[in-house]
């Protein structure tokens, strides 16, 4: 996993005042809300005897261990050991790891790394405002999150894997694709698929400058957010949440702003998600067979020019991993 990054890890609706324990980024974590509704995240293991804190409860904004009642504040420090009395000054060593949290657009982020390095909050896709409503689903895939991400950066597979859904038309030839970096951790790529006409596919360097107003494009934001810009008022978004090295929870959403009537809006969003779930499962069928389970910059696979978005992802991910090691 890439450290010192803001990761989407849950949907807001999954966390209430009652603690919830989940595994994210290969660590057992506990999430809960305080009396003001703010989400907090601690390591899900009591410093005393190692029991899961997620089995406890929240009282006066402290998370209480279910075993011996140790009371933790939002930064993982034990404030009260009941067996010693409430006036006892608990030593600093009685603490567990905590992770900074942030909520936006119904997602919960955690900063995976040193809290002191989190100088800025995470930035969601800024073109998805309150005028959009969405339908949502999530499921677990037995793959490393890098593989799940790369599938959504793959512009060559569509007419084969999705030949009876989004890949109709037998547009096998891929001109480009064109990749443009918006900033150091976000890029967009423009897709030009066409029917075989006897001419070779154009390489990215031979393509004209992409037009954001008319050209079909997708976007990826490190470390784990992807968006399909279908139209101004229609998008598909996915968050690829690392559970551990071999499992990923995918949160998939359909966004739209062309229907505003509440009841009808819910029906449209629900129907769209039925279709998007079918598309996702077509991907799953092949992605879970990829070997090795995790992708890296240097691998034995032989990429082609249509894999440019995947290559750009691998290169930047490798850079970020090296920055942490150094």
- Superfamily assignment of 133-325 in CATH? Naphthalene 1,2-dioxygenase Alpha Subunit; Chain A, domain 1 (3.90.380.10)
User: Which tens digits make up the pLDDT trace of 170-198?
Assistant: 999 999 999 999 999 999 999 999 999 99
Share of the chain above pLDDT 90, in %: 89
In this structure, what is the dihedral angle of CA atoms 271, 273, 275, 277, given to the nearest 10 degrees?
-150
Q: What is the pLDDT of residue 138?
A: 97
326 pLDDT more than 60: no
- Of the candidates 247, 250, 244, 255, the residue with the CA atom closest to the CA atom of residue 225: 250
CA dihedral 274, 276, 281, 283 (to 10 degrees): 170
Q: How far apart are the first and last CA of the chain?
A: 15
Dihedral of the alpha carbons of 37, 39, 43, 49, in degrees to the nearest 10: 0
Measured between alpha carbons, how far is 183 from 176 in angstroms, rounded to an integer? 21
**Residue 117 pLDDT > 90, yes or no?**
no
How far is residue 167's CA from residue 279's CA, in Å, rounded to a whole number? 10
Q: Three-state DSSP class for 113?
A: coil
Mean of the per-residue pLDDT values for the chain?
A: 95
Give the CATH fold of the 5-117 domain. Rieske Iron-sulfur Protein (2.102.10)
Residue 324 has pLDDT above 80, yes or no: no
Compute the half-sphere exposure of residue 190: CA atoms within 13 Å on the CB side of its CA: 19
pLDDT tens, position by position, 22-77: 999 999 999 999 999 999 999 999 999 999 999 999 999 999 999 999 999 999 99
pLDDT in tens, 205-263: 999 888 887 888 999 999 999 999 999 999 999 999 999 999 999 999 999 999 989 89
Domain ranges of the chain: 5-117, 133-325
């Amino acid at each position: 996993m890439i450290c010192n990054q803001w990761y989407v890890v849950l949907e807001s609706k999954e966390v209430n005042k009652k603690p919830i324990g989940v595994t994210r980024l290969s660590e057992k974590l506990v999430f809960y809300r305080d009396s003001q509704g703010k989400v907090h995240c601690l390591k899900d293991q009591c410093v005393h005897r190692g029991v899961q804190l997620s089995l406890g409860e929240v009282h006066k904004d402290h998370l209480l261990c279910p075993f011996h009642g140790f009371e933790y504040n939002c930064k993982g420090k034990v404030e009260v050991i009941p067996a010693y009395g409430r006036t006892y000054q608990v030593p600093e060593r009685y603490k567990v790891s905590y992770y900074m949290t942030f909520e936006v657009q119904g997602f919960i982020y955690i900063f995976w790394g040193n809290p002191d390095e989190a100088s800025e909050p995470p930035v969601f896709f800024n073109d998805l405002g309150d005028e959009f409503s969405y339908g949502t689903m999530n499921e677990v895939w037995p793959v490393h999150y890098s593989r799940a991400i790369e599938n959504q950066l793959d512009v060559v597979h569509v007419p084969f894997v999705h030949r009876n859904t989004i890949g109709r038309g037998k547009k096998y030839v891929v001109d480009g694709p064109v990749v443009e970096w918006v900033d150091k951790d976000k890029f967009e790529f423009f897709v030009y698929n066409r029917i075989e006409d006897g001419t070779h596919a154009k390489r990215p360097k031979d393509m004209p400058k992409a037009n954001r107003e008319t050209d079909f494009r997708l976007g990826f934001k490190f470390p784990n957010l992807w968006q399909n810009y279908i139209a101004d008022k229609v998008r598909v978004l996915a968050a690829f949440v690392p559970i551990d090295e071999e499992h990923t929870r995918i949160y998939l959403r359909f966004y739209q702003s062309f229907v505003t009537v509440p009841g009808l809006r819910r029906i449209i969003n629900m129907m769209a998600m039925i279709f998007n779930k079918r598309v996702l499962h077509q991907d799953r069928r092949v992605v879970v067979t990829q070997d090795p389970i995790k992708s890296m910059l240097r691998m034995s696979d032989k990429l082609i020019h249509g894999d440019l978005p995947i290559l750009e992802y691998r290169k930047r991910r490798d850079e970020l991993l090296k920055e942490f090691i150094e």
